[in-house]
Chain A
């Protein structure tokens, strides 16, 4: 695809339900990031994938959050037993992840509302 694609664009879920958010990075990009952006706030780092290396999960706020990535393609962010404080826009970004000048490209985000 031409850019980073995220689905769904919007998700409304009931408190306590599990949700799965999807990110399709730019083809060939080995690095993939997930961020959370609460209303009117800045980026909160969640997790970073780089090729086949172990992901950097240091930003995941609790064990209800997990993410997977299949090779160097699609990634899914799963939030179990959602809480109202999980309501936010979840952003995915990808980059070449190798030496040389590069740029991070962002998806349009998934707006999650927990009711």
Chain B
């Protein structure tokens, strides 16, 4: 069963526009969720995790247990935000499941 779903393969927005990258998960327990980012020619790295409730590079993500979602948002996209974004679920505290990724393209 697919545990993490990212419905959009590609999302294109103009610079300064709001961005929302969608992520839905399937897990009956208490979820621990993450967003990872992969910039061009760099390794995949952690962007943020929901338990930290932090904002990184202007991005935030709120866990909605009712909708089983963990969408990533930024009010004003920048060109340097162009990258591949992955949502991830830590299952039973020991195994990560990654979504298939969304490529964000911020146009000037």
Contacts and interface: CB of A to CB of B under 8 A. Distances in A.
The answer to whether A and B belong to the same complex is yes
Interface of A: 31, 33, 35, 40-43, 45, 48, 50, 56, 91, 93, 95, 97-104, 106-109
Contacts, number: 54
B70 interface: no
B44 interface: yes
Interface string B68-108: 00000000000000001010101001111111110100000
Nearest to A33: B96
A40 B101 CA distance: 10
Contacts of A35: 98
Contact of A43 (B45, B49, B94, B100): B100
Nearest to B45: A106
| Interface-centre pick from B43, B84, B93 (highest chain A CB count, 10 A) | B43
Contacts of B34: 103-104
Contacts of A31: 94-96
Contacts of B45: 106
Interface string B33-46: 01010000001111
Given A42-B86, A43-B86, A98-B93, A103 B46 contact: yes
A91 B101 CA distance: 15
Interface of B: 6, 9, 32, 34, 36, 43-46, 49, 51, 84, 86, 88, 90, 93-101, 103
Contacts of B98: 35, 43, 45
8 contacts: A31-B95, A31-B96, A35-B98, A42-B101, A50-B94, A95-B96, A106-B45, A107-B43
Nearest to A45: B98
A106 to B, nearest CB: 4
Given A106-B43, A108-B43, A43 B101 contact: yes
The CB with the most chain B CB atoms within 10 A, among A43, A97, A107, A108, is that of A43
